Every structure is written in structure tokens, then in C-alpha cells.
A = this chain, B = another copy of it.
Amino acid sequence: MHQVHIGEDMRDRNREIAAENREMLQSRGVVSINIMSAPGAGKTSLLVRSIPGLTEQFRIGVIEGDVQTTRDAERVGALGVPVFQIQTGGVCHLDASMVHSALHAIDLDSIDVLLIENVGNLVCPAEFDLGVDARVMLLSITEGDDKPKKYPLMFTESRLLILNKIDLLGHVDFDLEKAKREAAEINPHIEIIELSCRTGEGLDRWTGWVERLHAKAGG
């Protein structure tokens, strides 16, 4: 029973390391984003599709969290940006300590925006602050419009909800208004962007959001 074993000691320790990460990142002027979703919702595709545009304005660095393989890191690395791979070896989320090790291996002075792709999971990643500026959650519309109520912590902790794969809207039973309404009930401050990594629709809204986050951080 995983959650039962995340005792207060462990939470406190994660919080401490997250604070160290935040200090490391902010002191170097690096804006950082923790991207979370279920497996296959399109986190890697979002990076692959948007990094070419983002690199016109920012020096991008990426941390790829994966249970086993290095496939995602290879896909993103092919774009020519620095990618640091964390293989969790079976662990179903990233924690602050894993990211801390990665931060020591990255030249933080050479990047402006750090994108962290978490392990695909709608439960545990939400529990672990990594010390980033913002958490973003992807929900693919093929997963169903019941997800906000079923995995509320994920929606509470995220500043931005990306509804991905909207090119499939006509092909699946997904009530877009219901999903948006229920996400807003759980987190009234959440911003929502609809996009499709496949068609490219809405990708400019995502890159615009990253720009505003960077501008707000005084970057």
C-alpha cells in the first residue's frame, strides 16, 4: 500500500529537497515546469511538437522521467536540446530527490526553461512537489470526461490543464464542457488549453502560456 508508506517523514524530506531545487532553479533564473499525465496522454508528443518553437525564444532543457526505457529521452534528444534521463526503475513517479540529482548534472546557466516530463500516472506524481514553478497536467480526451472527479489531487495541484487529442472529439464520447466544468469545480484557478499534438491545433496557446510564465517569473 504505497500511500500508506508516504509518512510525514518522507513528505517532510521531499518538501525540504523541493525547496532546495526551487532555490537552485530560481537563483539561476530557470523557469521550471512539471508535466504530468496518465501513460499515453501525449507528454512526449507535446514536448516534441512544441520545443522547436520554444527554442526560438528560450534555451530549453528537459528532464525525462521514465520507469524503464530511454525511448522518450531519445525522441526529445533528437531535437537537439539537452535531455537528462531519470529511469526510476519501477517507481511510479518522480520525487524531489531524483530531480535534485538531475539538477546537479545539468548546466543550469545554459538554460532558460526546464521542462520535466513526469512518469505516466494520475495518482502519485501529484503528491510530490519537485520544486518547480508550475505543474501542468495533460488529459487526453480519449481517457474520458470523468477523470477530474476521479483523480482530483492531480487537478488541484496543476496550474494548467491541457486537453489533448481534441482532433478525436467527434470519434469518442467525451463531454468537453462537463470535463472543463468539473475541473474548474475542483480547482477554480486552473487554466485550460485545448490542443492536438497530432494536428498542431492549439500548440501556440501552450507556447504562449510558457512565455507568460517566463515573463511573470521575471525571466
Copies of this protein, total: 2
A150 touches B39 (CB 8 A): yes
Q: Mark A183-208, 1 if CB is under 8 A from B, else 0.
A: 00000000000000010000000000
Chain B residue nearest to A149 in the complex (CB): B69
Interface residues, chain A, CB within 8 Å of chain B? 1-6, 38-41, 66-69, 71, 88-93, 95, 97-98, 119-124, 127, 140, 142-144, 146-147, 149-153, 165, 167-168, 171-173, 198
The 14 sampled A-B contact pairs (Cβ below 8 Å) are A2-B124, A3-B89, A3-B90, A38-B39, A38-B120, A39-B151, A40-B143, A67-B123, A68-B149, A69-B146, A69-B149, A119-B123, A168-B168, A168-B171
Q: Which chain B residues lie closer than 8 Å to A4 at the CB level? A: 91
Give Cα A67 to B143, complex, Å.
16
B142 touches A68 (CB 8 A): no
Give Cα A139 to B35, complex, Å.
22
Give Cα A82 to B72, complex, Å.
42
Q: Which chain B residues lie closer than 8 Å to A95 at the CB level? A: 1
Given A2-B124, A168-B168, 9 additional A-B pairs, CB 8 A: A1-B97, A5-B6, A39-B143, A39-B150, A66-B150, A67-B123, A71-B146, A120-B150, A165-B172
